Structure 1
Amino acid sequence: MTAPDKPRLSIRIDLPGGGRFGPGKAALLDAIADLGSINKAAAQLGMSYPRAKKLVEAMNRDFGVPLVISAQGGADGGGSRLTDAADEIRGIYRELCNRTLAHNKELLRTFSKPDKRN
């Protein structure tokens, strides 16, 4: 992972029951939605398939509803798709991030140029 050229804000949600949802899991859901496969999503994100599968299982458990549904290979070739619940969570997470960034843009900028009066 390369360092950002300017300060960035990322949000992690600590869920009831101890689970977490943040930029990594959001990116995994986005990649699964785009590619239709946990395996392809994992490869695109530079993670192993077992790690991606474990994250999907954790999200399904943490939210109490399936976010990703997978079908085994066969005539249709298998694959994975997001549920409506996953699309809703992705939208809410994206909106939370956008609103937080918009509201705190000026404060975030101060991390680029800390006050040097000390």
Structure 2
Amino acid sequence: MKIHIPHGTESAIGSGKADLLEAIQRAGSISAAARAMGMSYRRAWDLVDTMNRCFLQPVVETATGGSHGGGAQVTAFGLEVLGRYRDLELKANAAVTAEVEALAILLRPVE
């Protein structure tokens, strides 16, 4: 089950954005995270920008390039958002497991 948290007409966070935050945390940059996820830098940047605009504080901070290169990091606030979102996913999936299994029995076999 995929969960997203709406904010006006946008999605503040969902499973794809949470995956992107984790990739940025691992890679240390938006471009490396985008490559690892098979998405364009532009798409990744747009997702980060949306999250940063939706939440009270930035979830990702960037450093411009230069002699030491640029980079990005998930902020402490971003890690809190990510942790709360992942907890919400676990709780929601646990709450609906029996219903999903009961519904799955009613599906045609996959050919």
State TM-score, norm by structure 1.
0.83
Q: Among residues 35, 51, 67, which one is paired with 2:43 in the alignment? A: 51
Kindly indicate which of the two structures has a greater share of residues assigned to helix: 2
SS in structure 1 at match of 2:73? strand
Q: 5+ residue gaps in structure 1?
A: 1-8
**Aligned pairs for 1:26-41 within 5 A:** 26-41=18-33
Q: Which amino acid aligns with 2:69?
A: G
Q: Deviations over 1:58-85 (max 9, x none)?
A: 1100113211111112233221001111
Q: Structure 1 residues 113, 77: CA separation in 2 closer, same or farther (over 3 Å shift)?
A: same
Partner of 2:82: 90
Q: Given the alignment of the two structures, is residue 23 of structure 1 paired with residue 2 of structure 2, yes or no?
A: no
**Aligned pairs for 1:47-86 within 5 A:** 47-86=39-78
| Count of residues in Structure 1 that have an aligned counterpart in Structure 2 | 107
Instruction: Quote the Cα distance in structure 2 between the aligned partners of 1:51 and 1:97.
Output: 23
Q: Deviations over 1:70-114 (max 9, x none)?
A: 111223322100111110110000000001111111111123211
Q: Bigger shift: 105-114 or 86-95?
A: 105-114
Q: 5+ residue gaps in structure 2?
A: none
Q: Which amino acid aligns with 1:96?
A: L
Instruction: Quote the Cα distance in structure 2 between the aligned partners of 1:46 and 1:105.
Output: 30
Instruction: Quote the Cα distance in structure 1 between the aligned partners of 2:69 and 2:103.
Output: 48
State TM-score, norm by structure 2.
0.88
SS in structure 1 at match of 2:85? helix
